[in-house]
Structure 1
């Protein structure tokens, strides 16, 4: 049976050598180990789509669009489903820790893999600072005797230690973090629906049915344009869905894990995003002041008489923050590892210890995370604001690259190993091009928004710098290769 070749460096050296243990090679020889169990990957796939932004950011979306925010979530959800289907097609055929960066390297060119890999790493390093600070704020409110910076340091150190121990440690932490998120939202949706239909009376809002979706200015109180405004506010809360395709490279059965994750993304988004936001909007009017004051989920819980709703939600948000921090460190380190394997990062990034852990890649990523945390405390409105804005549109860039990569990788897979095409993008290539058009439209529309404009322009600036670096690096590499080839030829003659 033919197997899909792995991407190679110039000269045919494998970028990530395979073995029966792991697609990334044996531990101790620069490879990762298959340390993630099926239950780890299942929960990473489910929890990866639930970011802290869903809990703390949904209030601003509801305020901007009213009940129509459901359409905003649905539009972005459809876009994410399509992107994940494309990524699943490639990842099932060739699971690797570099995921879309490694595929872009092969399908679009070395410059593409280098650029999107480093941009993605940069995005998650900044996320480390954001999540560490958010978690520290909650912990400080519980135990004020410990300063906020100390809490940020503690959570970073603990999760760094877990990632350094083994990939199984990361998987175990994420299994429980994601499990708490999933159970919390599931319980919220069930209790909320019981209240909506009058089976759980506890306040004036219980038993209201669907009335609140239209009784305060209609379903579109801010007009149709607010749907697009809502898209800008919610799109980035979906980032993280792709993590399972990176993690699959460290499982014993990556093809099955990717297929399962890709096929389940539709119901995950439907239940966790659309389902929970629907419950909030059905329980209380969209313009209820408590939504912005307390947060959408706390306001909904309070409306049906759930005691200590604020404290309960703080625990859930902290869990979501720690989950995102844990996965952010894992994701950044694995992307750095893959870049190192392909010669696009220091070679030390690609070295692993006896447990198959890329220690240098992890420590390098967390060091930059600590630097970003420092910037957040020292210069929050200047340096850190620049970091936030300059990484703000990277998620959309990543999704665009996945689309363009899949257009070419489909042909490569069919030509070299058609039996590996176990996951297929629907209506190829039409839905792929439609997704490209959707993402491009969102990017262009962001230029009309004051906050979005800064994110797009600064992200484009950083992306342009990284692309230029990659092109210069590739040019130097080719010239160096030409010189070596000329020297060898002269010596032979």
Structure 2
């Protein structure tokens, strides 16, 4: 798995150890946990704990597989590069462009969400202006030095981690009956109000379909680590800690939420999970606190989206799957054109939302509904193939996936089962069909581009 392309432009190594650690700790925490988890609770009831636990396990195994490949070859293209080596150039092309497409559409979504919060705080300016400033400021931060991305993400992640730990601390005190501001204690809500599994196993699966997308982004670590010194060691350490972070931040916090509050409460959907629980506990200034935390989570996600989209586009250009100009670097080693192009698409998405509210952007977002699962599927298949190659060639691997190939096959079948369920479920069929349609188009382009590259090489000889 050694890198065969010695002509690839070299990105800077500006991310520090502390920044990588904090990105790996807080990068997975987004607005989906603070607000979106309410939809999963409504779908599964208290059994949403199992939804988060099972999803956590699958994501952890996927990260272990990605870590195995990334330690062998740290690369800013991450799983897209590994898919090229394992499955073929068309696969690396396809999953790389789909991943870029996902993250450039995250940019306007987060910009609009952040703008709405700012507009509520400072209504003297229109929301579209805040969205524009949001994109421009974070784009400039990403444009000049990767240290800027690292610095922003360090503080964003620190704030999110502190918020989660405070939430867990407050709720733990309340569960044991020592919270002085509200008469709430115990875990009776887990088994009263319809039981622990009011919707059976179907509810747990429905919760998994929602929670799965809350975890998407944890793989950014393998991309960011490539822009630091000694990336293989950082990837190894961070991958080993993934499961503990996920259990602490997701499973424990949701367990406490559904223990303290009746899962049927409409307040979950109206205010978001964390805000409603803190309101129930009569925590002073809950709305301002949670608006601030959600704003930070939105800014963090947008910062990561700009970074990730630009690095994947750079990697595609380095492999000649995108125009060569996207590999142009600043003196600090930042892919300037890749950042600007990703920013431009994000701005177009923002404008589309304000000129055609609820139409263009909603349609575009429907094309990303299954991309997260497709990325995880490609990671698992790539690891399966590359691991077998390494074993056939007696290549020593410093970091291995456990119980190979059985756990790898289990993950593959699990993801395929979830995709099949989404395809036949009325609630998810449209997004799944749209995602698969876009995937088919990209795959066709990937095959055409690959054939043209092969033809060009044959002409040289």
Same fold per superposition (TM over 0.5): yes
Aligned equivalent of 1:199, options 175, 178, 198 = 178
Asked if 1:296 corresponds to 2:235, the answer is no
Q: Distance in 2 between matches of 1:126 and 1:449?
A: 24
Shift, 1:408, TM fit: 1.5
Q: Given the alignment, which residue of 9, 23, 45 partners 1:44?
A: 23
Q: Which residue is 2:112 aligned to?
A: 133
Q: Which residue among 411, 424, 429 is the counterpart of 2:405?
A: 429
TM-score normalized with structure 1 length: 0.91
Match of 1:166 in 2: 145
Alignment of 1:43-442 (within 5 A): 43-205=22-184, 207=185, 209-414=186-391, 418-419=395-396, 421-442=397-418
Deviation at 1:449, TM superposition (A): 2.6
Q: Note the C-alpha offset of 1:483.
A: 2.6
Structure 1 residues 121-167: Cα deviation after superposition (integer angstroms, max 9, x where no partner):
00000011111111011110000111111011111111111101201
Distance 1:197 1:36 in 2: 42
1:248–1:254 Cα contact (<8 Å) kept: yes
User: How far did residue 223 of structure 1 move?
Assistant: 2.5
**CA spacing shift, 1:162–1:413, aligned 2, 3 Å:** farther
Residues 1:39 and 1:416: Cα distance change in structure 2 (over 3 Å) = farther
| Residue 19 of structure 1: aligned partner | none
Match of 1:23 in 2: none
Q: Greater CA deviation, 444-453 or 409-418?
A: 409-418
TM-score using structure 2 length: 0.97
The question of whether the paired residues in 2 share the 8 Å contact of 1:174 and 1:327 is answered with yes
Distance in 2 (alpha carbons) for counterparts of 1:437 and 1:414: 23
Cα displacement string for residues 260-314 of structure 1 (whole angstroms, at most 9, x for unaligned residues) = 1110111111011001111111111111222222221111111222011111000
Please list the CA deviations of residues 36-70 of structure 1 after superposition, one character each: whole Å capped at 9, or x if unmatched: 11111111111121121111101111112110111
Report how many aligned residue pairs link the two structures: 461
Structure 1 pair 414–223 and aligned structure 2 pair: CA distance change class (3 A): closer
* 1:6 counterpart residue number: 3
**Aligned equivalents of 1:285 and 1:194: distance in 2?**
18
Residues 90, 103 of structure 1: 8 Å contact kept: yes
The one of 429, 434, 440 aligned to 1:458? 434
Q: Pairwise CA RMSD of aligned residues?
A: 1.3
Residue 5 of structure 1: how far off its partner (Å): 2.1
SS at match of 2:428: helix
Deviations 1:5-59 (A, max 9, x none): 2044xxxxx363xxxxxxxxxxxxx211111111111111111211211111011
How far apart are residue 415 of structure 1 and its match? Answer: 6.0
| Greater Cα radius of gyration, structure 1 or 2 | 1
Moved more, 49-58 or 376-385: 376-385
Question: Structure 2: how far apart are the matches of 1:379 and 1:268?
Answer: 40
Closer/same/farther in 2, CA of residues 385 and 404 from structure 1, 3 Å limit: same
The answer for the alignment partner of 1:25 in structure 2 is none
The answer (yes or no) to whether the contact 2:35–2:271 under 8 Å persists in 1 is no
Q: Is the 8 A contact 1:31 1:351 kept in 2?
A: no
| C-alpha displacement of 1:199 | 2.1
Structure 2 stretches of 5 or more lacking a match?
Answer: none
Aligned 8 A contact 1:6 1:15 in 2 = no
Deviations 1:397-418 (A, max 9, x none): 1000000100112134456683
Deviation at residue 111 of structure 1 after TM alignment:
0.3
Deviations 1:406-444 (A, max 9, x none): 01121344566834x222111011000000011111111
